[in-house]
Structure 1
Amino acid sequence: MKQRYTTHSTFQIERIYRAAPERVFAAWSNRSAKERWFQPAEVFDFQVGGRELCQGGPAGGPVFTFDAYYQEIVPNERLVYTYSLDQGDTRMSVSIATIELIPTIDGTKVVFTEQGAFFDGLDTPEQREHGTNEMLDLLGQSLGESNAENFELVSRRKLDAPRNLVYRAWTEPELLAQWWGPNGFTNTFHAFDLKPGGVWEFTMHGPGGADYPNRNVFQEIGPECIVLRHDSTPRFTLTSTFEDVGGKTEITFRQTFETEEDYKKLKPMCEEANEQNLDRLGLLLKKL
Structure 2
Amino acid sequence: MTGRFATLAFERRVEAPLATLWQAWTAPAARAIWSAPDPSVTVEVIEARPGAGGREVSLCKVAGKPDLRCEVGWLALQPSACSVNSELVMIDGLAQSAALVTAEFLGAPEGSSLTVTVQLSSLAADMEAGYREGFAAGLDNLAGVAARTMVLERVIAAPRQVVWDAWMNTETLPLWWGPDGFSCRTSRIDLRSGGEWVFDMIAPDGTVFPNHHRYGALRPGEGFAYALLWGENGPKHADAWAAFEDQDGATKVTLGMVFSTAAEFQEARGFGAEELGQQTLGKLARFVGAD
Give TM-score scaled by structure 1 length: 0.52
C-alpha distance in 2 between matches for 1:130 and 1:9? 14
The equivalent of 1:111 in structure 2 is: 115
C-alpha distance in 2 between matches for 1:90 and 1:255? 41
Query: Structure 1 residue runs of 4+, over 3 Å off?
Result: 183-186, 188-191, 203-206, 254-257
Deviation at 1:21, TM superposition (A): 1.1
C-alpha distance in 2 between matches for 1:131 and 1:118? 15
The equivalent of 1:19 in structure 2 is: 16
Question: Cα 1:205–1:255, aligned 2, differ >3 Å: closer, same or farther?
Answer: same
SS of 1:85 mapped into structure 2? strand
Question: Cα 1:71–1:256, aligned 2, differ >3 Å: closer, same or farther?
Answer: closer
Q: Give the total of aligned pairs.
A: 176
C-alpha distance in 2 between matches for 1:42 and 1:61? 19
The equivalent of 2:64 in structure 1 is: 60
Is structure 2 residue 263 aligned with structure 1 residue 253? yes
Is structure 2 residue 187 aligned with structure 1 residue 187? no
Deviation at 1:57, TM superposition (A): 1.9
C-alpha distance in 2 between matches for 1:117 and 1:109? 26
CA deviation profile, 1:64-94 (whole Å, cap 9, x unmatched): 1101111110011111100110122221110
| Equivalent AA in structure 1 for residue 207 of structure 2 | F
Is structure 2 residue 106 aligned with structure 1 residue 102? yes
Question: Cα 1:101–1:87, aligned 2, differ >3 Å: closer, same or farther?
Answer: same
Give TM-score scaled by structure 2 length: 0.52
Matches within 5 A, 1:1-288: 4-38=1-35, 39-120=43-124, 122-144=125-147, 186-188=200-202, 202=207, 253=263, 269=274
C-alpha distance in 1 between matches for 2:198 and 2:81? 29
| Equivalent AA in structure 2 for residue 187 of structure 1 | M
Larger RCO (alpha carbons 8 Å, 6+ apart): 2
Deviation at 1:61, TM superposition (A): 1.0
| Equivalent AA in structure 1 for residue 2 of structure 2 | Y
Contact 1:98 1:114 (C-alpha < 8 Å) held by counterparts: yes
Contact 1:18 1:145 (C-alpha < 8 Å) held by counterparts: no
Q: Flag structure 2 segments of 5+ consecutive residues without an equivalent.
A: 36-42, 150-187, 189-196, 212-259, 279-291
SS of 1:13 mapped into structure 2? strand
Structure whose CA Rg is larger? 1
Deviation at 1:28, TM superposition (A): 2.5
Q: Flag structure 1 segments of 5+ consecutive residues without an equivalent.
A: 147-177, 192-200, 207-249, 274-288
Deviation at 1:140, TM superposition (A): 1.6
CA deviation profile, 1:100-146 (whole Å, cap 9, x unmatched): 111122111000110011124x2421221110011112112212369
Contact 2:16 2:112 (C-alpha < 8 Å) held by counterparts: yes
